[in-house]
A and B are shown apart, each in its own frame.
Chain A
Amino acid sequence: DGGITQSPKYLFRKEGQNVTLSCEQNLNHDAMYWYRQDPGQGLRLIYYSQIVNDFQKGDIAEGYSVSREKKESFPLTVTSAQKNPTAFYLCASSTPYNNEKLFFGSGTQLSVL
């Protein structure tokens, strides 16, 4: 089945630790996105990438980093610089330049120990 796979489903981070959230898609989409979902704040864009080896900061990129070495993969690293990382993280993909529809993964819940 085509879709977006996010792993792990739950992740715990210790103080000062970097953690990486995985996002893989087999939809052959060029564009991929990372959103953070907090209660009452909706989805906020962290990073997005329209093509391989290129990505752009979204509205809340501080404390996060990404890479896009392969079309299928867009991992997100939550660094120790992100002081409030507890949130639900959603990865999405779409066809670029005329976003007809975003396809979402099932999300990763990150919590701080």
Chain B
Amino acid sequence: AQSVSQHNHHVILSEAASLELGCNYSYGGTVNLFWYVQYPGQHLQLLLKYFSGDPLVKGIKGFEAEFIKSKFSFNLRKPSVQWSDTAEYFCAVSVKTSYDKVIFGPGTSLSVIP
């Protein structure tokens, strides 16, 4: 069965530190890749997505992610985090079968200390 794993359950960083959240998926076919973010008290929202083309994609709020097909990975990065980045981050994969099914990873909780 297809699955998504995220390397860290909880990450704590100081402001201005660099961030990298790991994501790996298990599916050999064509996928679309996503990072979603859930700020405290807010809806889940899309941070960035990869469908095809340049494997380095840029999203909102200075986030970027790199798709490495050979490693089945889609890691999220930000060079300098802010306190407002405190949130839960979910990696997701859209699997192309007879239906498109979106599968989420378990999430990584990021706490940024001022």
Residues of chain A whose beta carbon lies under 8 Å from any beta carbon of chain B: 31, 33, 35, 40-45, 48, 50, 56, 58-59, 90, 92, 94, 96-102, 104-107
Contact = CB atoms under 8 A, between A and B. Distances in A.
B11 interface: no
Given A101-B46, A104-B43, A96 B106 contact: no
B100 A31 contact: yes
Q: How large is the interface on B (under 10, 10 to 19, 20 to 34, 35 or more residues)?
A: 20 to 34
Interface of B is mostly: strand
Interface string B23-49: 000000000101010000001111001
B101 interface: yes
A56 B90 contact: no
Given A90-B44, A99-B32, A100-B49, A43 B104 contact: yes
Contacts of B45: 104
A43 B42 CA distance: 15
Interface string B44-70: 111001010000000000000000000
Interface string B15-27: 0000000000000
Given A90-B44, A100-B49, A42 B102 contact: no
Interface of B: 1, 6, 9, 32, 34, 36, 43-46, 49, 51, 90, 92, 94, 99-107
13 contacts: A31-B100, A43-B90, A50-B100, A56-B99, A56-B101, A59-B1, A92-B44, A100-B49, A101-B46, A101-B49, A102-B36, A106-B43, A107-B43
Contacts of B92: 102
B106 A40 contact: yes
Given A43-B90, A45-B102, A50-B99, 19 more contacts: A33-B102, A40-B106, A41-B106, A42-B6, A42-B90, A42-B104, A42-B105, A45-B101, A48-B99, A56-B99, A56-B101, A59-B103, A90-B44, A92-B44, A98-B32, A99-B100, A102-B36, A102-B46, A106-B43
